[in-house]
Homo-oligomer: A and B are copies of this chain.
């Protein structure tokens, strides 16, 4: 395991060299949006667009790893494109999200059900404490690119959020991103 300089492009999210990547398309995120009929229509009409891409740099034996998440702009019936949202499996491990370009909303929810919003604008380094679920939402008209750093052992727990949803949603109301209660939230 050797030191290395990894070039990050804050406009495209490119990571050179990266060690892995995955892409999430709209059809894979069906459960998290309010209007699934409209989602199905968009998948059909727009050829299942990419919602976000994650590129990571991870080395065996290191405690930390990092990478980028690049979110496309878009909406489903006014609800902005978002990530799945997750808790970490390790409840003692948080994360850092450092926005490089674009404009987003980081939606957070503690295990106790407190909710919090952090604006993701260029230069904002979001502190995500341990055991707060987090979801990124692109509320702008360009790509939202952020660098994340995390412990390799943190792990992802998507189950709770997929099952219950998050308590808040972020929608376009008269051209303004607006935080609302999630009408489909279920405990």
Contact surface of A with B, Cβ cutoff 8 Å? 1-10, 57, 59, 61-64, 66, 92-96, 98, 106, 108, 116, 118-120, 123-130, 132, 134, 147, 149-151
Query: What secondary structure prevails in chain A residues at the interface with B?
Result: strand
| B129 pairs with A62, CB closer than 8 A | yes
Query: Closest B-chain residue to A92, C-beta based?
Result: B63
| B64 pairs with A98, CB closer than 8 A | no
Residues of B within 8 A of A127 (CB): 3-6, 57, 59, 62, 66
Residues of B within 8 A of A66 (CB): 96, 125, 127, 149
CA–CA, A118 to B7, complex, Å?
Answer: 11
Q: How many identical subunits does the complex contain? A: 2
Query: Closest B-chain residue to A149, C-beta based?
Result: B149
CA–CA, A166 to B28, complex, Å?
Answer: 51
Given A10-B123, A61-B130, A62-B130, 14 more pairs with CB closer than 8 A: A3-B108, A3-B118, A3-B129, A4-B126, A4-B127, A5-B118, A59-B127, A61-B129, A62-B127, A63-B93, A63-B94, A64-B93, A64-B149, A151-B151
Known: A62-B127, A63-B130, A127-B59. A147 touches B1 (CB 8 A): no
| A116 pairs with B3, CB closer than 8 A | yes
Query: Closest B-chain residue to A127, C-beta based?
Result: B4
CA–CA, A123 to B147, complex, Å?
Answer: 11
Centre residue among A4, A124, A134 by max chain B CB count within 10 A: A4
